[in-house]
């Protein structure tokens, strides 16, 4: 038995018995790196990753080319780290893949958290609904930078016409930020609401996602306020 085997076994046993809750970021990275480093101590590599990228989330979000610059992190370990990030997002999206009817805000919120979780750049998505709130189409419309994605009213209207939708739920994310609407978010929402009203189509909600949380402009009353003041 190697000098580090006892620590490996204890950490793995703890995970299998208790799950990952209560683990420190350093322990999670150690556990992950066990799969690519069968013998050596992974604690120092985990420390180097956290020192370089600041947090566990920062490690997962780091570009592949930056990961392999860290001592001890070769192509296999970097690929595994990026795979974990991608699998987490895939899992979130798959949980809501069969959502066919939006009956409450949480349906829309969970749907979009599943699709926008872990995305490094702002993205704009829409759900197109019929008059019974059945999902006709879910579409990603745009991808921007880390803090900006434009909302093109023309593209939203094109989707509405193509599906004969009578309701629209708009969503976008704030990577690394808070699920709070900016002034630009409010302005774009009001403009889209006005354009859709000309087509006799409802803007049902605008969901803003930040990691695994979201805010509904409908639930906060802001959607009604924008409709009243525009």
Q: Per residue in 4-38, pLDDT tens?
A: 567 888 888 898 888 888 889 999 999 999 999 98
Count CB neighbours of 191 within 10 A: 14
140 and 68, same domain (yes or no): no
Specify the pLDDT at position 39. Answer: 77
Binning pLDDT at 50, 70 and 90, where does residue 3 land? very low
17 and 33, same domain (yes or no): yes
66 and 138, same domain (yes or no): no
Q: Of the candidates 58, 92, 126, which is a domain's last residue?
A: 92
38 and 57, same domain (yes or no): yes
Structure token digits, residue 149? 């994605």
Specify the pLDDT at position 1. Answer: 45
Specify the pLDDT at position 31. Answer: 92
165 and 220, same domain (yes or no): yes
Given a cut of 80, is residue 224 above it in pLDDT? yes
The pTM of this model reads: 0.65
Give the pLDDT mean for 125-153: 83
Specify the pLDDT at position 192. Answer: 92
153 and 57, same domain (yes or no): no
CATH of the domain at 127: 3.40.140.10
Q: Of the candidates 92, 124, 139, which is a domain's last residue?
A: 92
CATH of the domain at 16: 1.10.150
Give the pLDDT mean for 37-65: 91
**Residue among 62, 100, 99, 95 at smallest CA distance from 81:** 62
Which residue range(s) make up the domain with 200?
A: 98-229
Q: Of the candidates 68, 92, 116, which is a domain's last residue?
A: 92
Given a cut of 50, is residue 142 above it in pLDDT? yes
194 and 103, same domain (yes or no): yes
Count of structural domains, the chain: 2
Given a cut of 50, is residue 79 above it in pLDDT? yes
Report how far residue 203's alpha carbon sits from residue 170's, in angstroms, rounded to the nearest whole number.
8
Helices (H), 148-215: 153-163, 183-198
Given a cut of 80, is residue 227 above it in pLDDT? no
168 and 73, same domain (yes or no): no
Specify the pLDDT at position 220. Answer: 92
13 and 109, same domain (yes or no): no
More confident site: 48 or 22 = 48
Count CB neighbours of 148 within 10 A: 11
79 and 172, same domain (yes or no): no
Given a cut of 70, is residue 96 above it in pLDDT? no
Count CB neighbours of 65 within 10 A: 8
Specify the pLDDT at position 9. Answer: 87
pLDDT over 70 for what percent of the chain?
Answer: 91
Specify the pLDDT at position 226. Answer: 79
19 and 133, same domain (yes or no): no
104 and 88, same domain (yes or no): no
Given a cut of 80, is residue 150 above it in pLDDT? no
Specify the pLDDT at position 158. Answer: 92
161-189 confidence digits (pLDDT tens): 999 999 999 999 998 788 888 888 898 89
């Amino acid at each position: 038995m190697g000098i580090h085997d006892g620590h490996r076994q204890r950490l793995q046993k703890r995970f299998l018995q208790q799950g990952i809750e209560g683990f420190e970021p350093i322990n999670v990275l150690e556990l992950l790196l066990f799969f690519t480093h069968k013998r050596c101590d992974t604690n120092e590599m985990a420390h180097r990753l956290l020192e370089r990228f600041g947090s566990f989330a920062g490690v997962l979000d780091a570009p592949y080319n930056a990961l392999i610059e860290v001592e001890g992190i070769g192509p296999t370990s970097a690929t595994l780290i990026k795979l974990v990030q991608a699998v987490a997002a895939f899992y979130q999206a798959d949980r809501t893949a069969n959502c066919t009817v939006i009956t409450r805000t949480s349906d829309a919120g969970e749907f979009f958290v599943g699709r926008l979780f872990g995305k490094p750049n702002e993205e704009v998505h829409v759900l197109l609904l019929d008059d019974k709130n059945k999902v006709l189409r879910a579409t990603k419309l745009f991808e921007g930078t880390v803090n900006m994605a434009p909302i093109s009213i023309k593209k939203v209207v094109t989707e509405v016409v193509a599906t004969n939708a009578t309701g629209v739920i708009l969503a976008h994310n704030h990577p690394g930020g808070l699920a709070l609407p900016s002034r630009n978010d409010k302005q774009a929402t009001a403009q889209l609401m006005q354009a859709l009203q000309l087509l006799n189509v409802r803007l049902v909600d605008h969901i803003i996602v930040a990691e695994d949380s979201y805010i509904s402009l409908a639930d906060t009353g802001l959607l009604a306020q924008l409709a009243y003041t525009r």
